[in-house]
Structure 1
Amino acid sequence: MAIDRGSTFAFREFQGGKNKMRRIGTLENTELAQRLCDYLVTQAIDASCDPESDSPDSGWDIWVRDERQIEQAKKELADFRSDPEQPRYQVKREATHIRQEQIAAELAQQKRTAENDRIANVTKSALGEPIRAPLKQSGYPVTIAVIILSVIASLTTHFGQPRRSRAPGKVTLEEQVYDALSFVDRKEFVKSGGNPFASVETGQVWRFVTPMFLHGDEFHLLFNMVWIYFLGSVIEKLQGSLFFAVVLVTTQVSGMLLQVMLPDPAVLQPIFQGTPLDFLAQTLSGSPFAIGASGAVYGLFGFLWIRPKVDPGYPIHLVQTNVVLMLGWLVICITPLIGDVANGAHIGGLLAGVGFGFAGKLKFG
């Protein structure tokens, strides 16, 4: 027996009144109510049922969400009451499948909304530029590791000026660490007659990278580590630790190689002598004893500078102030204003980073 409460509709509210449902009628038990709701769902009508009271003998209310479907739902309810045993109402399996698909779609939409909200909040890089894209990871362990190792190595080697032992023939820890991390061991360099690759040729290939952990003074260390953090953290979070490590190592090696392979001042002096550029004989000369992470710094800068120019969809663009600052410092270091700078490392690292930026196969995403 079906129970009808007339044409007056009751309302049910969910989630603070945002979603209202209308009661279209009542059926006598849960089996009939659920059977009708299953059928309505297969007819693309969002319906649900629940008991009208806590009494076991109470009827079950039928609710419809979309007000535009009220009349259709009322007609279906009337037809159902006339013969609820018709085969067309035996659609529990189909209704269950539809509900599962609806739940999956709703969860996917919630996930997209949450992601869009996260992006809309605009994550910012350490440089302050907005990152309008999902991050591959939240942390930047390689960046932190480089900073920690650089601080330890710089302090342990007395900022690239290891103190000697007063005892004849004894080597201090500072000297041992410095010789192990620099591009060439000083003894091997002298023994080989000044071959800058003397240590590398014996298989000590780590020396292409480890000079980046050594620094000449506190300012040198601070300057490089600040930029490693600013530039490295955003690349690592955007594209992952592996990608960042590849860019970091490649640009550092490129800068170190160019610095080592540049000619001695004696070779450059005849070229620039008597010209306003005679200082270039000193500032563009090579040395295997260059230390610091400047090559990697300029490599990371070169990548972030060029990548968005090649791929406008890249999610971060360096502000012009940072570009001018980095390029301006590069030029200033080449002038006589600042001495003892590994300009070859700066230029080599920058060129490698720019190359990464232009490489189409490394497009973001």
Structure 2
Amino acid sequence: MRMIGELPKGVDPRVLEDHLLGLGMKSRIDRRPDGGSVVWIINEDHVDRARGELQAYLAAPDDPRFRSSAPKASEARKAEARRDREFRKNYREAGDLWGAPTFRHRPVTVLTVAIAVVVYLLQQTEYEPQVVYWLGFFDWRNGFPDDRPRLGLTDVLNGQVWRLLTPAFLHFSPLHILFNCWWVMILGTAIERLRGSWKLLLMIVGAAALSNLVEYEYMERLHAAPTEVTRFYTFGGLSGVNYALFGYVWMMGELHPEEGLRIDSRNTVLLLGWLVLCFTGALGPIANAAHLGGLAVGMALGWMKY
């Protein structure tokens, strides 16, 4: 916000304020004790043009063109009030994550977490090998270890298309599943209650499939290249989906704030910092390509206002 000038006593500042607003330039008027006014322009990109309009108004305050802007200014204020009401309604819903913790309000979010928990519990039993065989990106029982990367799409192309999605429900430690389910509940609830269950469902399925494909392609190329990584490991988890949800909410908040979806800067730094930390290798084998793939998908959807 910048001051662009002053109006003397006796010159109506409201006429200038309406005129500027009718031209798409928001301003603020501060009254002085002597009866004059100080004029501020909100957007600094409008300073030069607004200053020119101010000078023109001072030179001819009775010019009809200045008063003719009143209807446009009134419509602009009404439109802004409508946007503000919509934003406040949406923002309350997005922030009230636990205000209505019923299945009816967020079925896709609850089902996603429930499936992940059930799969993880099965992984802690004697059935773990079968669970990993059937839910992994491919059945790694077939072939020697060095051949496993090349088998990646064989099962999918033979009709086992669920393998594009199901690796997202495999988790390999308590921290892994707790972290992922926590973020699904936070981000998924906000998206589902504001954008709808079907949109969230399609986002989860699409992000899971694409992030898994990206991770497989990355691992296949890494395996074939000269590297210290000499074996292909089974990957899984909802992290790719979570980074898609994060990217979506992040971009919606930045580009379409009126929709009420946003994530605060602290959590943005946390998730981006975690992404970088995973790339250092300090946390062991991590599906980093899936994280990046999910983030790219989510940011693209947010940019498109999906």
TM-score by length of 1: 0.53
Q: Distance in 2 between matches of 1:315 and 1:296?
A: 21
The answer for unaligned runs of 5 or more in structure 1 is: 1-111, 131-136, 164-172, 270-280
Out of 343, 350, 357, which is 2:302 matched to? Answer: 357
CA contact (8 A) 2:94 2:193 kept: no
Mapped pair 1:306 → 2:262: no
Root mean square deviation, CA, Å: 3.1
Query: Partner amino acid for 1:322?
Result: N
CA contact (8 A) 1:183 1:288 kept: no
CA-to-aligned-CA distance 1:242-298 (integer Å, 9 cap, x gap): 0001111111112111110012256153xxxxxxxxxxx75xx99572111110000
Shift of 1:177: 2.0
Distance of aligned partners of 1:228 and 1:287 in 2 relative to their CA distance in 1, 3 Å threshold: farther
Deviations 1:116-144 (A, max 9, x none): 8x93993353679x9xxxxxx97110110
2:293 corresponds to 1:293: no
Q: Please report how far the alpha carbon of residue 226 of structure 1 lies from its aligned counterpart in structure 2 after TM superposition.
A: 0.1
Deviation at 1:241, TM superposition (A): 0.7
Q: Residues of 1 paired with 2:123 and 2:96: CA distance?
A: 29
Q: Which residue of 2 aligns with 1:318?
A: 263
Per-residue displacement from partner, 1:207-241 (whole Å, max 9, x unpaired)?
11111111001110000000000000110111111
The equivalent position to 1:122 in structure 2, one of 78, 92, 96, is: 92
Residue matched to 2:6: none
CA distance in 2, matches of 1:193, 1:120: 51
Q: Shift of residue 359 of structure 1? A: 1.5
Of residues 185-194 and 207-216 in structure 1, the stretch that sits farther from structure 2 once superposed is 185-194
Instruction: Give unpaired runs (5+ residues) of structure 2.
Output: 1-81
Q: Is the 8 A contact 1:184 1:288 kept in 2?
A: no
Structure 1's 358 and 222: CA in aligned 2 closer, same or farther, altered over 3 A?
A: same
Q: Equivalent residue of 1:346, what SS? A: helix
Larger Rg: 1
Matched letter for residue 179 of structure 1? Y
Determine the C-alpha separation between the residues in 2 that align with 1:332 and 1:123.
Answer: 32
Q: What percent identity do the matched residue pairs reach?
A: 32
Task: Tell me which of 334, 338, 343 is aligned to 2:283.
Answer: 338
Which residue of 2 is the match for residue 139 of structure 1? Answer: 105
Q: Secondary structure at the match of 2:142?
A: helix
Where is the helix percentage greater, Structure 1 or Structure 2? 2
Equivalent-residue separation in structure 2 for 1:155 and 1:230 (angstroms): 22
* Aligned partner letter, 2:142: E
Match of 1:177 in 2: 131
Q: How far apart in 2 are the matches of 1:286 and 1:321?
A: 37
Report how many residues are paired: 215
- Please name the residue that 1:267 is paired with: 225
| Structure-2 change in CA distance of 1:192 and 1:286 (3 Å) | closer
Q: How is 1:195-274 mapped onto 2 (pairs within 5 angstroms)?
A: 195-262=151-218, 263-265=221-223, 267=225, 269=227
Alpha carbons of structure 1 residues 153 and 189: separation in structure 2 relative to 1, 3 Å = farther
